[in-house]
Amino acid sequence: MSAVKTRERLIDVARQLFNKKGMEKTTMNDIASASDKGRRTIYTYFKNKREIYNAVIERESELLVGALREIAQSPLSPVDKLEQFLGKRFEIIRDTVNSYARLRSIISFDSKRMQRVQHLAAVKINEMLNQMLAQGVNDGVFDPVQVRRMNSMLQATIMGVDACYIQGLQNVGCVDTEQFEGDIIQFITTAITTR
């Protein structure tokens, strides 16, 4: 097995163990045993459990933002790119919460880890979003004043929709998600597009 594959295997095993037992209760011996590797092999790739934990956080945040990165790097027009990016962003949180019971158990069982994953993903998403908006401004498609005004409001709006999904409020009148998501995307693109 190559060094890269071994490292990836160790991260996968640690991720599964952290999901099952939590980071604090998972030992280096647990990771070694579950990965069929010796402790020495683990220490070749990671100095300690905290370093493995950080690699798991990075992996989980990348799982959340990978599809968004593809859109952000696509040759679409700034408006189409922004619309698809926002649509995919809402879809990711909706699908994650609705499809994976694992997320609910992680939130209650290992909330610090979930918060770190969400924070790291949010930083990456914000960076991509800012790059797309800057591209739109440079191309003359987006109004720079409106983009500046919209940026903080957009972040707060996205966090609000996320909170509704995570707390399960979308089914009790917090938002009519399909309509609300479409309205947000249309409002934002209309508001920042030059006339």
pLDDT tens per residue, range 26-84: 999 999 999 998 889 999 999 999 899 889 888 877 877 888 999 999 999 999 999 99
The answer, yes or no, to whether residue 109 has pLDDT greater than 70, is: no
pLDDT tens per residue, range 66-79: 889 999 999 999 99
The candidate with the shortest Cα–Cα distance to 129, out of 95, 78, 163, is 78
The predicted pLDDT at position 108 comes to: 45
**What are the domain boundaries of the chain?**
3-46, 56-192
The answer, yes or no, to whether residue 104 has pLDDT greater than 60, is: no
The candidate with the shortest Cα–Cα distance to 10, out of 44, 94, 23, 177, is 44
The answer, yes or no, to whether residue 192 has pLDDT greater than 90, is: yes
Q: Distance between the two ends of the chain, CA-based, in angstroms?
A: 57
Query: What's the CATH fold of domain 3-46?
Result: Arc Repressor Mutant, subunit A (1.10.10)
CA distances from 10 to 31, 114, 118, 136 (A): 7, 20, 22, 41
The pair of structure tokens assigned to 34 is 């579950």
Let me know if the fold of 3-46 is the same as that of 56-192: no
**CATH class of the domain defined by 56-192:** mainly alpha
pLDDT tens per residue, range 139-152: 999 999 999 988 77
Question: What is the value of pTM for the model shown?
Answer: 0.70
The answer, yes or no, to whether residue 95 has pLDDT greater than 90, is: no
The per-residue pLDDT of the chain, averaged, comes to 82
- The string of DSSP codes covering 76-102 is --HHHHHHHHHHHHHHHHHHHHHH-HH
The answer, yes or no, to whether residue 106 has pLDDT greater than 50, is: no
pLDDT tens per residue, range 113-167: 667 777 788 888 889 999 999 999 999 999 999 999 887 788 788 777 777 776 7
What is the crossing angle of helices 49-72 and 111-138, to 10°?
30
